Amino acid sequence: MTGSNDDRFVVFDRVQKSYDGRNLVVKDLNLEIAKGEFLTMLGPSGSGKTTCLMMLAGFETATHGDILLDTQPINNIPPYKRGIGMVFQNYALFPHMTVGENLAFPLSVRKIGKSEREEKVKRALEMVQMGDFANRRPAQLSGGQQQRIALARALVFNPELVLMDEPLGALDKQLREHMQFEIKHLHEQLGITIVYVTHDQSEALTMSDRVAVFDDGRIQQLATPEELYERPHNSFVAQFIGENNRLMGHVDKFDGESSVITLDSGEKSSALAVNCGQAGSRTMLSIRPERIRIGDQATENVTNAKVLELIYLGDHIRCRMDVHGDKQFIAKIPNSPESQRVHVGQNIKIGWAARDCRALNAD
């Protein structure tokens, strides 16, 4: 999905938000979301992502700019008239109602008749594999079951847009991962548009068509999960998405897409010139742990390292090393017969290909 002019469904047009009239928590946001897209707003606490979701839902008002839904401005439309499904982290189920009554409530508000209500509730419960739970109350359900019911309630009136604010944050790791795939599959089956907010980068990568990475009230990069991980535009995105090794230096040579960096240790490294400035500029090299090669395997960039710690993680071994004084430099060694074995205290050679190394801003 690209959010082209033909299929854009949600539009933020120069949107700003301030709570005190001075400090902007959202700064000139321009964002287009395609119909049927799963877009995640990802970022640390205070980055502006949840405020954007609340403005789209109607629970917050934009200080400046317009928000459009299916070409219609919605700034002045109250939340209950926007026809948007919502799923929150705390589920927000009515404790005095049964599961069936919780799901029927948004249908009653919309003046839908009893027989049609019953049919929609039944279909929504079956959608989340909770068909036998209509007569239970929320207190009789586990956290995972309550989250399924909250999801069913958001879908029961067939909205075209569903907003999800950290919906899996209260679940344990295994259930959380399972629910990620459930939501992803429901999105694929129903073709609805989902705008999802999380601070969990692995969740964003797993579920989304595109991810908007927020920091300081702005989108730092908007791209597919693969693009974000493989080609971060700046040092913030590189650090926030996945694990990342950093080496500081300055630009020695700059030639379009390629560069040669003189590291602070005095060694040189060739790298992709992504966001590093001209010759003489300070820069940060970004290299993913799984792209580090151990031993004297042929590669463009080779340096010395000392093994400080080895942690067995099943499919790979996490190797922490001292590289140019950085004692948090990480390599992920595949757990396979072909991989070279190392031991703590060993001095080794490591290397990385220029295509796996990105020269970024030094901030």
Q: Is the pLDDT of residue 279 over 60?
A: yes
Q: Give this prediction's pTM.
A: 0.88
Q: Looking at the structure, do residues 215 and 270 belong to the same domain, yes or no?
A: no
Which pLDDT tens digit goes with each residue over 300-355? 899 999 999 999 999 999 999 999 889 999 999 999 887 888 999 999 999 999 99
Instruction: Flag whether 1 is in a domain.
Output: no
Q: Looking at the structure, do residues 174 and 298 belong to the same domain, yes or no?
A: no
Instruction: Flag whether 3 is in a domain.
Output: no
Instruction: Flag whether 195 is in a domain.
Output: yes
Q: Is the pLDDT of residue 298 over 80?
A: no
Q: What is the CATH number of the domain that holds 148?
A: 3.40.50.300
- Where does the chain show beta strands of DSSP type E? 8-18, 24-34, 38-42, 64-69, 72-73, 84-88, 161-165, 193-198, 210-215, 218-223, 245-255, 258-263, 268-273, 282-287, 293-294, 301-312, 316-323, 326-334, 347-352, 357-360
Instruction: Flag whether 240 is in a domain.
Output: no
Q: Looking at the structure, do residues 87 and 115 belong to the same domain, yes or no?
A: yes
Q: Is the pLDDT of residue 2 over 70?
A: no
**Torsion of the alpha carbons at 265, 271, 273 and 275, rounded to the nearest 10:** -50
Which pLDDT tens digit goes with each residue over 54-109? 999 999 999 999 999 999 999 999 998 898 999 987 767 888 999 999 999 888 88
Tokens of 69: 């839904």
To the nearest whole number, what is the mean pLDDT of the chain?
A: 91
pLDDT in the model for residue 296: 66
Q: Is the pLDDT of residue 19 over 80?
A: yes
Q: What is the CATH number of the domain that holds 280?
A: 2.40.50.140
Confidence of residue 1 (pLDDT cuts 50, 70, 90): very low
Instruction: Flag whether 34 is in a domain.
Output: yes
Domain boundary among 235, 254, 278: 235
Confidence of residue 3 (pLDDT cuts 50, 70, 90): very low
pLDDT in the model for residue 4: 43
Q: Looking at the structure, do residues 338 and 192 belong to the same domain, yes or no?
A: no
DSSP for 164-231?
EESTTTTS-HHHHHHHHHHHHHHHHHH--EEEEEES-HHHHHHH-SEEEEEETTEEEEEE-HHHHHHS
Instruction: Give the domain range for residue 269.
Output: 245-360
Tokens of 318: 């996490």
Q: Give the integer Cα–Cα distance in Å for 322 and 52.
A: 41
Q: Looking at the structure, do residues 175 and 99 belong to the same domain, yes or no?
A: yes
Q: Looking at the structure, do residues 76 and 207 belong to the same domain, yes or no?
A: yes
Share of the chain above pLDDT 90, in %: 67
Domain boundary among 192, 215, 235: 235
Q: Is the pLDDT of residue 209 over 90?
A: yes
Q: Looking at the structure, do residues 250 and 227 belong to the same domain, yes or no?
A: no
Strands 38-42 and 193-198, how do they pair? Answer: parallel
Q: Looking at the structure, do residues 321 and 279 belong to the same domain, yes or no?
A: yes
Q: Looking at the structure, do residues 212 and 85 belong to the same domain, yes or no?
A: yes
Instruction: Flag whether 2 is in a domain.
Output: no
Question: 299: how many CB neighbours lie within 10 A of its CB?
Answer: 16
Domain boundary among 235, 261, 292: 235
Domain total in the chain: 2
Confidence of residue 37 (pLDDT cuts 50, 70, 90): very high
Which pLDDT tens digit goes with each residue over 249-273? 999 988 878 999 999 999 999 999 9
Instruction: Flag whether 38 is in a domain.
Output: yes
Instruction: Flag whether 251 is in a domain.
Output: yes
Q: Looking at the structure, do residues 204 and 277 belong to the same domain, yes or no?
A: no
Q: Is the pLDDT of residue 175 over 90?
A: no
Q: Looking at the structure, do residues 22 and 168 belong to the same domain, yes or no?
A: yes
Q: Looking at the structure, do residues 66 and 199 belong to the same domain, yes or no?
A: yes
- Sequence-separated (6 or more) residues with CB below 8 Å from residue 348: 294, 295, 304, 305, 306, 307, 321, 342
- CB-based contact 155:87 (threshold 8 Å): no
